[in-house]
Amino acid sequence: MVYLSRGACQSSIKYLLLFKLLWHFESIEAHSAAMLDLRNRILPSNFLSEFPGEAAFCFWLQHPEPSSRPTTR
């Protein structure tokens, strides 16, 4: 499980949920490794090829510059 800091944006949670809903993990170890990679905005290459639009949206939700992330406005 990835632990988010107190100041983590809601988009971080949406990013994790979207990824976990779409991706199948072969093992607990694979899940743990993927969650660690997500902290650095690294998605599995198969995810990028199978879900290119969703991957782009995940990257947008986790943009390094918070002002560049989507808002509800």
Digit-coded pLDDT (tens) for 15-63: 788 888 888 889 999 989 988 898 888 998 899 999 999 999 888 888 8
Closest C-alpha to 41, from 29, 68, 27: 68
Structure tokens belonging to residue 65:
């510059």
User: Please, which residues have CB within 8 angstroms of residue 40's CB and are 6 or more apart in sequence?
Assistant: none
Whether residue 67 is predicted with pLDDT greater than 70 in this model: the reply is yes
What pLDDT score was predicted for residue 9? Answer: 52
Closest C-alpha to 66, from 5, 22, 18: 5
What pLDDT score was predicted for residue 18? Answer: 83
> Taking the model in full, what pTM does it have?
0.69
